[in-house]
Amino acid sequence: MKMLITKQVIILTILLTSAAFCAKWEKLGKFNGNEHFEYRVNSTDHRGEHSMIYILDIKPAGEDYEVSYTTKGKLTKSELGLETAFGLWGAYGISLNMVVLNPMYMAFFPQLELQVGEKMSFFGAGLMKVVGEETIAGIKGYKVEFYQTQNGEEKLVSEMTINPEIPLPLKSKIENSEALLQVYRKN
Regarding predicted confidence, which is higher, 111 or 19?
A: 111
Nearest to 114 by CA among 161, 157, 170: 161
* pLDDT of 174 above 70: yes
Read off the pLDDT of residues 8-54 as tens digits, 9 standing for 90 and up: 434 333 333 334 446 888 888 889 999 999 999 888 877 788 888 88
**pLDDT for residue 72:** 85
CA dist 155 → 37, 70, 104 (Å): 30, 34, 16
**pLDDT for residue 13:** 39
**pLDDT for residue 17:** 36
Read off the pLDDT of residues 60-103 as tens digits, 9 standing for 90 and up: 999 999 999 888 888 788 877 776 766 655 544 455 565 566 66
Q: Are 142 and 116 in contact (CB under 8 A)?
A: yes
DSSP 101-134: S-TTTTTTGGGS-BSTT-EEEETTTEEEEEEEEE
**pLDDT for residue 98:** 57
As a 3-state breakdown, the chain gives helix, strand, coil percent values, each rounded to 5, of: 20, 45, 35
HSE (side-chain half, CA atoms, 13 Å) at 163:
14
**pLDDT for residue 8:** 42
* pLDDT of 184 above 90: yes
Separation between Cα atoms, residue 39 and residue 170, nearest integer Å: 9
Nearest to 113 by CA among 41, 26, 24: 24
Read off the pLDDT of residues 129-169 as tens digits, 9 standing for 90 and up: 999 999 999 999 999 999 988 888 889 988 999 999 999 99
